[in-house]
Amino acid sequence: KEFRNNLKPNWCPGCGDFSVQAAIQRAAANIGLEPEQLAVISGIGCSGRISGYIHAYGLHGIHGRALPIAQGVKLANRELTVIASGGDGDGFAIGMGHTVHAIRRNVDITYIVMDNQIYGLTKGQTSPRSAEGFKTKSTPEGSIESTLSPLEVALSAGATFVAQSFSSDLKQLTALIEAGLQHKGFSLINVFSPCVTFNKINTYDWFKEHIVNLDQFEDYDPSNRIAAMTKIMETGGLLTGLVYQDKSRKSYEDMAVGFQQEALAKQELKLSEGEFAKLLAEFK
């Protein structure tokens, strides 16, 4: 099972996104997927290039729209394992409306956000994840906006799987992606993925100094939503591990009428040529 292709990623040396790519490839192989069983859909940003660097079905979408495309792919062919991916700007700024509604809809896809707290592709502007006081070209006096907490938003929106990891911890990241891919519903995996070129504050060393691994709390119960929210707030959102999982809620496609049969993409079109032309004309 080979999820590598012959393309050389166009990321700066040391970018955290390399590890995310490797973790996806390892996780997919570890759970026994074949490349033709996986689709990786991405948005815009440096991280959006990831769909081209994995040997699987892939689509590099438009800004903030990875999730609607990924949900459409899953609903059209539920036999595919679907990953949506992108950056914090892509998912938590322009794409935030889609993120919240995809979470509460609970379509069975895995959303991996490469969170570097800045816009890298456009050369370093403040993102919703940047800290207050963060100075960039777009905020030369320091950001005066509060920082978005994606894990709190996800829990509030009814998420059934919430995890967070760090590019430097490939073992944990791979394990969490495996768990997300196997979760029957929407899984959000936010990954601290440093931008070594434009973010000189949230560096690898900074994360190593600040993040708290949930493994150190022996009695932590990821099925307890209130405990999850409390732990996120106690750690300022700088925790890693499986934060929350609800295995009881059914996925969207397991509940929606008509999606329990064979994948739409594989069903025979029961229309004559004339009827099909008439149907198409209605949408012109």
Instruction: Decide whether 111 or 198 has the Cβ nearer to ligand SF4.
Output: 198
Q: Does 197 bind ligand SF4 (CB under 6 A)?
A: yes
Nearer of residues 46 and 232 to ligand SF4, judged by Cβ: 46
Out of 170, 196, 227, 229, point to the residue binding ligand SF4 (CB under 6 A): 196
The reply on whether position 166 binds ligand SF4 by CB under 6 A is no
* 18 binds ligand SF4, rule: CB under 6 A: no
Which one among 195, 228, 232, 243 touches ligand SF4, defined by CB under 6 A?
A: 195
Pick between residue 46 and residue 83 the one whose CB is nearest to ligand SF4.
Answer: 46
112 is an interface residue for ligand SF4 by CB under 6 A = no
Q: Which of 12, 29, 31, 94 binds ligand SF4 (CB under 6 A)?
A: 12
Nearer to ligand SF4, 17 or 108 (CB): 17
Q: Closer to ligand SF4 at the Cβ: 22 or 227?
A: 22
Min dist. Cβ of residue 50 to ligand SF4 (A):
11
Choose, by CB under 6 A, the member of 20, 38, 39, 46 that binds ligand SF4.
46
Considering only residues 3, 11, 53, 92, which one is a binding residue for ligand SF4 as defined by CB under 6 A?
11
Total residue count of the chain as it appears in this document: 284
Nearest-approach distance from CB 24 to ligand SF4, in angstroms: 16
As a three-state string, the secondary structure of the chain is: CCCECCCCCCCCCCCCHHHHHHHHHHHHHHCCCCHHHEEEEECCCHHHHHHHHECCEEEECCCCCHHHHHHHHHHHCCCCEEEEEEEHHHHHHHCHHHHHHHHHHCCCCEEEEEECCCECCCCCECCCCCCCCCCCCCCCCCCCCCCCCHHHHHHHCCCCEEEEEECCCHHHHHHHHHHHHHCCCCEEEEEECCCCCCCCCCCHHHHHHHCEEHHHCCCCCCCCHHHHHHHHHHCCCCEEEEEEECCCCCCHHHHCCCCCCCCHHHCCCCCCHHHHHHHHHHCC
Is residue 17 part of the contact set for ligand SF4 (CB under 6 A)? yes
Give the list of residues 6+ apart from residue 179 with CB closer than 8 angstroms, or none: 161, 163, 187, 242, 245
Does residue 116 touch ligand SF4 according to CB under 6 A? Answer: yes
| Ranges within 117-136 binding ligand SF4 (CB under 6 A) | 120-121
The residues binding ligand SF4 (CB under 6 A) are: 11-12, 15, 17, 46, 116, 120-121, 195-198
